[in-house]
């Protein structure tokens, strides 16, 4: 095999230069099994680097001139399939792994270390402990790609980077090199599982499971070489739409037999197939409710079909009434997943993984952590994050999501430590995902030359993979890693300037985005349907359960047990009490849990209305400052196309942030009548 290097594509975090340290040295790959495609991949990677940078690589034993030893143990040494250790002695850096995947991950670890992997003795870089094992078994990306272009949603649902890299005009892409390049990028972050079709499964997409298995096998072979297992999103109604029994009842024997036979054929074609992902009884997708069956019945039926082959089903918990009456204040969409699923705890088979969005609503820039995650100790859970910036600026805005995910992963259900995760899993979200075995995110990649539309949005994809491997990692350190890889010191005029500018722009960009959009955790206020740009009342009188209830006196959703929907009671203590209390509720979630007057004084000391004004003026100013930072790089030697792309998008971000500022401020000034304490212009 060869290493794909496509010249019309931005190399993201694997530019040729990232391999300089390895490629200029002498490497020996020592593996007792040579039949693994992953070992071939490791060899091909090093060989390609050596070809470019003058080093050597052999698949034999160490000799005197070796700088780097990549070694597969002959007996398992407790590192697991994917773990590895890094050591350095006698001038030789050694990566040891029990399995081929571990060797691949160890290689990419060295890429991150760069030249420092080959200095000192032992390796002391503080980003590298000696032994590395992934925290989470399955680190999965879901692609919401449609094979056919959907008339409403386009080719990628919630995609902001062009068309699909997998599918084109109903067929498998003919650019398989791009898929290899992509697999390589993902593996370098630690991702080891993907789905390649939308969880909303259309007629064409359903057929991937049966008569289009050849396409699936083709993709699987490409990703297999980088240790990434292919999963498929399937329709719960598959038997009915694919020529099976005229029912999808999960307790019907003919249905079970159809799934068993169909799954057997999938494994014939793809022996290391990962399993199924299912969105059922959600936003119009079919599911077990039609047959009076539970979600456990549905998930277990698929789990049973997969079990003989070691496959798993990821069953999404995103189930709610999407035809709610806005007049009905007793129904609370935030409650729905818990109400549906918590009673089923313990009923799911061991290879049925319940995939839960991190918040109770839908990927808002600020939500509390979903109480479902803490409520099902006897169920394997996957936590679902969103890399694609559906509600966070469509990859037109710089919004580095690492800090958001880090906060989510570090949230402790059993205590008050809701700061960044520091490593002790306990009852953190990360710990629960580790136990469940999956951390999942929706991809932000399309056929755009910069992969993600916004070049800086690559950092989100990178950070997701790295956090899935190591949830306790500091997201700012991960960003730094990404900067080092993406903008190698040798390729820019002033590396410190580039690094400084990018940190100034990105470190706090999520909070900046939060500041100029919906305030204090109230969420939404986006334009319906496309979810970009402000529309304060856009969702207020709709069926979607996403309301803010602003009137002339106040704003927010009362989700208390005492007087509201009771959602706060879905949390264990202390959170049930913290969120219940207006005094104790964190400011950033106040309007998620409480309806308060505009004059209510926050824990910060500001009133709600003044907080709205202040944060919106500040957020828009910060967006403008971000643009100024970028302009400092105009002559820094960056790829001109990349510079221009980011500059264009920053213009849009600045415009959009001002629009958010003005619409939100005007809306609340018109409602409240309270003038800005600082007399700034509100329209």
Q: Is 152 in the site for its own copies (CB under 8 A)?
A: no
Please choose, from the candidates 420, 428, 313, the residue with its C-alpha nearest in 3D space to the C-alpha of residue 374.
Answer: 428
Q: Judged by CB, which is closer to its own copies: 168, or 655?
A: 655
Q: Draw the binding track, 489-528, toward its own copies (x: CB under 8 A; -: no contact).
A: ----------------------------------------
Q: Is 383 in the site for its own copies (CB under 8 A)?
A: no
Smallest gap, in angstroms, from Cβ of residue 594 to its own copies?
Answer: 17
Instruction: Choose, by CB under 8 A, the member of 253, 552, 605, 679 that binds its own copies.
Output: 552
Smallest gap, in angstroms, from Cβ of residue 247 to its own copies?
Answer: 30
Q: Is 541 in the site for its own copies (CB under 8 A)?
A: yes
Provide Rg for the chain, Cα atoms.
25
Q: Judged by CB, which is closer to its own copies: 146, or 672?
A: 672
Q: Is 679 in the site for its own copies (CB under 8 A)?
A: no
Instruction: Choose, by CB under 8 A, the member of 218, 326, 492, 572 that binds its own copies.
Output: 326
Three-point CA angle 387, 656, 520, nearest 5°: 70
Q: Judged by CB, which is closer to its own copies: 350, or 537?
A: 537
Residues 6+ apart with CB under 8 A from 44: 1, 2, 3
Using the rule CB under 8 A, give the single segment among 63-71, 178-186, 433-441, 666-674 that binds its own copies.
666-674
Q: Are 276 and 230 in contact (CB under 8 A)?
A: no
Q: Is 651 in the site for its own copies (CB under 8 A)?
A: no
Using the rule CB under 8 A, give the single segment among 97-105, 300-308, 503-511, 545-553 that binds its own copies.
545-553
Q: Is 203 in the site for its own copies (CB under 8 A)?
A: no
Please choose, from the candidates 416, 461, 441, 451, the residue with its C-alpha nearest in 3D space to the C-alpha of residue 576.
Answer: 416
Q: Is 330 in the site for its own copies (CB under 8 A)?
A: no
Residues 6+ apart with CB under 8 A from 381: 353, 354, 355, 356, 372, 373, 432, 433, 435, 436, 438
Number of residues that bind its own copies (CB under 8 A): 23
Residues 6+ apart with CB under 8 A from 584: 577, 578
Kindly state the tokens that stand for 344.
């089923």
Instruction: Choose, by CB under 8 A, the member of 493, 551, 648, 651 that binds its own copies.
Output: 551
Q: Is 556 in the site for its own copies (CB under 8 A)?
A: no
Q: Is 65 in the site for its own copies (CB under 8 A)?
A: no
Residues making up the chain, counted from first to last: 683
Q: Is 536 in the site for its own copies (CB under 8 A)?
A: yes
Q: Is 327 in the site for its own copies (CB under 8 A)?
A: yes
Spatial distance between the Cα atoms of 412 and 417, rounded to a whole number of angstroms:
6
CA dihedral (391, 393, 394, 396) in degrees, to 10, reads 180
Distances (CA, A) of 594 to 228, 561, 678: 44, 11, 27
Instruction: Choose, by CB under 8 A, the member of 96, 173, 233, 535 that binds its own copies.
Output: 535
Spatial distance between the Cα atoms of 456 and 452, rounded to a whole number of angstroms:
8
Q: Are 111 and 19 in contact (CB under 8 A)?
A: yes
Q: Are 306 and 276 in contact (CB under 8 A)?
A: yes
Smallest gap, in angstroms, from Cβ of residue 545 to its own copies?
Answer: 15
Q: DSSP letter at 114?
A: G
Using the rule CB under 8 A, give the single segment among 283-291, 433-441, 487-495, 530-538 that binds its own copies.
530-538
Smallest gap, in angstroms, from Cβ of residue 320 to its own copies?
Answer: 21
Instruction: Choose, by CB under 8 A, the member of 58, 119, 625, 663 that binds its own copies.
Output: 663
Q: Is 324 in the site for its own copies (CB under 8 A)?
A: no
Q: Is 356 in the site for its own copies (CB under 8 A)?
A: no
How far does Cα 44 stand from its chain's mean position?
29
H or E element, residue 14: none
Using the rule CB under 8 A, give the single segment among 10-18, 94-102, 154-162, 669-677 that binds its own copies.
669-677
Smallest gap, in angstroms, from Cβ of residue 683 to its own copies?
Answer: 4
Using the rule CB under 8 A, give the single segment among 15-23, 218-226, 389-397, 533-541 that binds its own copies.
533-541
Three-point CA angle 460, 466, 471, nearest 5°: 105
Positions annotated as catalytic residues are 283, 362, 390
Q: Are 614 and 608 in contact (CB under 8 A)?
A: no
Q: DSSP letter at 117?
A: G
Q: Is 289 in the site for its own copies (CB under 8 A)?
A: no
Q: Is 148 in the site for its own copies (CB under 8 A)?
A: no
Q: Are 279 and 206 in contact (CB under 8 A)?
A: no
Using the rule CB under 8 A, give the single segment among 269-277, 287-295, 426-434, 655-663 that binds its own copies.
655-663
Q: Which residues bind its own copies (CB under 8 A)?
A: 326-327, 534-538, 541, 550-553, 659, 662-663, 666-667, 669-673, 683
């Amino acid at each position: 095999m060869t290493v794909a290097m496509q010249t019309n594509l931005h190399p993201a975090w694997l530019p040729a230069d990232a391999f300089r340290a390895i490629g200029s040295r002498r490497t020996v790959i020592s593996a007792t099994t040579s039949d693994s495609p992953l070992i071939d991949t490791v060899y091909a990677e090093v060989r390609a680097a050596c070809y470019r940078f003058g080093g050597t690589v052999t698949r034999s034993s160490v000799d005197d001139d070796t700088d780097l030893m990549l070694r597969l143990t002959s007996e398992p040494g407790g590192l697991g399939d994917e773990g590895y250790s890094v050591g350095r002695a006698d001038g030789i850096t050694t990566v040891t792994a029990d399995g081929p995947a571990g060797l691949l991950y160890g290689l990419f670890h060295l890429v991150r270390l760069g030249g420092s992997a080959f200095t000192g003795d032992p390796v002391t870089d503080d980003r590298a402990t000696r032994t590395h094992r992934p925290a989470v078994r399955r680190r999965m990306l879901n692609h919401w790609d449609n094979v056919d272009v959907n008339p409403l949603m386009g080719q990628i649902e919630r995609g902001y980077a062009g068309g699909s890299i997998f599918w084109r005009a109903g067929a498998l892409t003919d650019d398989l090199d791009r898929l290899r390049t992509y697999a390589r990028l993902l593996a370098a972050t630690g991702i080891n599982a993907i789905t390649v079709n939308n969880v909303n499964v259309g007629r064409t997409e359903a057929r991937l499971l049966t008569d289009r298995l050849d396409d699936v096998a083709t993709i699987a072979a490409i990703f297999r070489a980088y240790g990434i297992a292919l999963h498929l999103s399937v329709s719960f109604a598959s038997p009915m739409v694919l020529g099976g029994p005229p029912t999808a009842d999960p307790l019907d024997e003919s249905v079970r037999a159809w799934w068993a036979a169909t799954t057997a054929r999938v494994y014939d074609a793809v022996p290391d197939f990962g399993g199924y992902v299912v969105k059922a009884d959600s936003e119009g997708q079919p599911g077990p409710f039609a047959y009076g069956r539970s979600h456990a019945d549905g998930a277990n039926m698929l789990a049973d079909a997969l079990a003989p082959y070691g496959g798993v089903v990821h069953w999404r918990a995103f189930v709610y009434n999407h035809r709610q009456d806005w007049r009905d204040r007793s129904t609370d969409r935030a409650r729905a997943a818990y109400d549906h699923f918590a009673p089923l705890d313990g009923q799911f088979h061991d290879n049925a993984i319940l995939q839960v969005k991190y918040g109770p609503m839908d990927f808002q820039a600020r939500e509390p952590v979903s109480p479902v995650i803490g409520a099902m100790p006897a169920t394997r859970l996957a936590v679902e994050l969103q890399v694609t910036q559906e509600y966070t600026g469509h990859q037109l805005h710089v919004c580095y999501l690492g800090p958001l995910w880090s906060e989510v992963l570090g949230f402790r259900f059993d205590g008050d430590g809701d700061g960044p995760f520091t490593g002790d899993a306990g009852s953190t979200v990360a710990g629960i995902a580790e136990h469940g075995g999956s951390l999942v995110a929706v991809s932000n990649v399309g056929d755009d030359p910069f992969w993600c539309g916004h070049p800086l949005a690559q950092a989100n994809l990178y950070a997701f993979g790295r956090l899935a491997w190591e949830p306790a990692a500091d997201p700012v350190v991960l960003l730094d890693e990404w900067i080092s890889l993406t903008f190698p010191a040798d390729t820019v005029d002033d590396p410190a300037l580039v690094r400084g500018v990018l940190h100034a722009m990105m470190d706090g960009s999520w909070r900046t985005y939060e500041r100029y959009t919906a305030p204090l955790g109230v969420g939404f206020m986006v334009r319906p349907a496309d979810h970009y740009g402000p529309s304060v009342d856009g969702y207020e009188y709709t069926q979607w359960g996403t309301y803010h209830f602003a009137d002339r006196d106040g704003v927010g959703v009362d989700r208390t047990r005492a007087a509201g929907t009771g959602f706060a009671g879905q949390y264990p203590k202390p959170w049930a009490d913290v969120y219940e209390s207006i005094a104790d509720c964190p400011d950033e979630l106040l309007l998620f849990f409480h309806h308060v007057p505009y004059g209510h004084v926050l824990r910060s000391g500001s009133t709600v209305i003044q907080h709205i004004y202040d944060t919106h003026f500040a957020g828009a100013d910060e967006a403008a400052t971000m643009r100024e930072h970028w302009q400092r790089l105009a002559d820094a030697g960056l790829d001109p196309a990349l510079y221009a792309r980011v500059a264009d998008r920053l213009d849009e971000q600045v415009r959009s942030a001002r629009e958010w500022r003005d619409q939100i401020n005007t809306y609340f000034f018109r409602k409240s009548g309270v003038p800005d304490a600082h007399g700034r212009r509100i329209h």
